[in-house]
Amino acid sequence: MAQDIVVSMDDELKLNFEEVCTDIGLSVSSAILIFAKRVARERKIPFELSAAPLDPFYSESNMAHIQRGIEAFRAGQFKEHDLIEVSEDA
């Protein structure tokens, strides 16, 4: 026996989702059913979930770059340079 599921989402998301489903040739119900069957079969969400850092400074690639800089500094691989001041008139 089929069971109903109620899903709440904002209006814009619903409209965009319906549009994509229509373009593919699916009803919203069919698209959600396909998703549910795949989750049940594979025992996982069928796509990667991740949260982007709020501040790109803390991204994995930038943190690795900073760590390489720290290691180079500790290894004495930096050179000291004079500060060149630039006037506001330039």
CB-based contact 16:24 (threshold 8 Å): no
Mind listing the pLDDT tens digit for each residue in 56-69? 888 889 999 999 99
The overall pTM is greater than 0.75: no
Rounded to a whole number, what is the largest CA-CA distance in the chain?
78
Buried b (16+ CB within 10 A) or exposed e, 30-58: eeeeeeeeeeeeeeeeeeeeeeeeeeeee
Q: If phi over 0 gives left and psi between -120 and 50 gives alpha, with beta otherwise, what is residue 51?
A: beta
Tens digit of each residue's pLDDT (9 = 90 or more) over 2-26: 899 999 999 999 999 999 999 999 9
Show me where the domains of the chain are located: 11-42
